[in-house]
């Protein structure tokens, strides 16, 4: 026997398991006088408790930045109001990458003018038309993802002809992809297009080097600029290294010259010291000779005196 212990009274604020089969098995079961209510209490959950509103999400994504500082904005899985873009303004003048995946959009008519936007992600929404506004608000758009929307006819794509810079278009899981000659029709309608659903007219897959925009909203042109800047910095570093090497060589040469000069000075000093020593030796020799001469004179003096005495006696 299995005993199920539940509180006698269940407050309406308490949460219940979403598995209604589990709850139905407990209905009518009681143990020790503890009864299970006939049905789970109804709870009203606001939209903000499930997903965040788009306006609040934008505020959080700013992270104390001004809209003009933002180049990438990801608002995936938040909720639009009445199927429209809300909270996004034309103050995002430097925005290049915008992602609005699965936000419940029905229309893009409220998109602000974003002159620098290059990539727009609109997949998994409920857009069925009204794409003409994109040419007015996003004149520099190069990549557009409309996968998983309610696009049924080729004619709904006709407004995209005005997007002169559009290179890549994705329509995966749209009904329009089921039409006969779908790819040929789209490439004919949009001659500026290079890639449709990730492949060109020759069924060659797009690569990163073909201008795909990175997740940070920077395209290959900017990458090349960054590489050029890095090359310039590298050249400057090489130049600085060469200058440092030249300076080191000059210092080494200067040190060698100093060593040669110091060597010459040492030789001169050494020569002077030898001259002084020679002079001292000569003086010492002269002194010794002088002393020797004095000694001989002293020795000869008594003999001379004896000779004088002998001469006197002879006289």
pLDDT in tens, 39-86: 555 545 444 445 789 999 999 999 999 999 999 999 999 999 999 999
Binned at pLDDT 50, 70 and 90, residue 234 comes out as low
Render pLDDT for 153-182 as a digit per residue (tens, 0 to 9): 999 999 999 999 999 999 999 999 999 999
Q: Is 121 helix (H, G, I), strand (E, B) or coil?
A: strand
In angstroms, the CA 257 to CA 220 distance is: 54
Q: Which residue has the higher pLDDT, 306 or 57?
A: 57
pLDDT, mean over the chain = 75
Mean pLDDT along residues 256-275: 56
- Which H/E stretch holds residue 140? none
Does the structure show a pLDDT above 60 at 101? yes
Beta bridge partners of 81: 84
Give the end-to-end CA distance of the chain in Å, rounded to a whole number. 176
Q: What is the pTM of this model?
A: 0.55
The pLDDT of residue 100:
97
Question: CB of 54 within 8 A of CB of 76?
Answer: no
The pLDDT of residue 281:
67
Q: Which residue has the higher pLDDT, 6 or 73?
A: 73
The pLDDT of residue 18:
45
Provide φ and ψ at 170, rounded to 5°.
-115, 130
Q: Give the tokens for residue 130.
A: 């009204």
Token pair 């269940």 is found at 10
Question: CB of 220 within 8 A of CB of 194?
Answer: no
Mean pLDDT along residues 217-223: 48
């Amino acid at each position: 026997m299995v005993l199920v212990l539940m509180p006698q009274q269940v407050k309406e604020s308490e949460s219940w398991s979403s598995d209604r089969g589990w709850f139905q098995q407990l209905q009518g079961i009681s143990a020790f006088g503890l009864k299970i209510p006939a049905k789970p209490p109804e709870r009203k959950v606001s939209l903000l408790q499930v997903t965040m509103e788009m306006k609040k999400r934008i505020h959080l994504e700013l992270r104390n930045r001004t809209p003009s500082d933002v180049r990438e904005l990801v608002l995936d899985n938040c909720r639009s109001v009445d199927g429209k873009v809300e909270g996004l303004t034309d103050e995002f003048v430097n925005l290049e990458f915008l992602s609005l995946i699965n936000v419940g959009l029905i229309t893009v008519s409220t998109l602000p003018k974003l002159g620098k936007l290059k990539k727009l992600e609109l997949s998994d929404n409920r857009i069925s038309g009204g794409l003409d506004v994109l040419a007015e608000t996003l004149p520099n758009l190069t990549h557009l993802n409309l996968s998983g929307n309610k696009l049924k006819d080729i004619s709904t794509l006709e407004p995209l002809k005005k997007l002169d810079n559009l290179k890549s278009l994705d329509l995966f899981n749209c009904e329009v992809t089921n039409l006969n000659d779908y790819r040929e029709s789209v490439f004919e309608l949009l001659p500026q297009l290079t890639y449709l659903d990730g492949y060109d007219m020759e069924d060659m897959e797009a690569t990163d080097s073909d201008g795909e925009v990175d997740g940070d909203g920077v395209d290959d042109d900017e990458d090349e600029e960054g590489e050029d800047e890095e090359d310039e910095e590298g050249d400057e570093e090489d130049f600085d290294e060469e200058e440092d090497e030249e300076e080191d060589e000059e210092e080494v040469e200067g040190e060698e010259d100093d060593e040669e000069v110091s060597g010459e000075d040492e030789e001169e000093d050494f020569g002077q010291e030898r001259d002084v020593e020679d002079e001292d030796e000569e003086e010492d020799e002269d002194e010794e000779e002088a002393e020797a001469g004095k000694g001989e004179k002293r020795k000869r003096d008594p003999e001379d005196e004896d000779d004088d005495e002998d001469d006197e006696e002879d006289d």
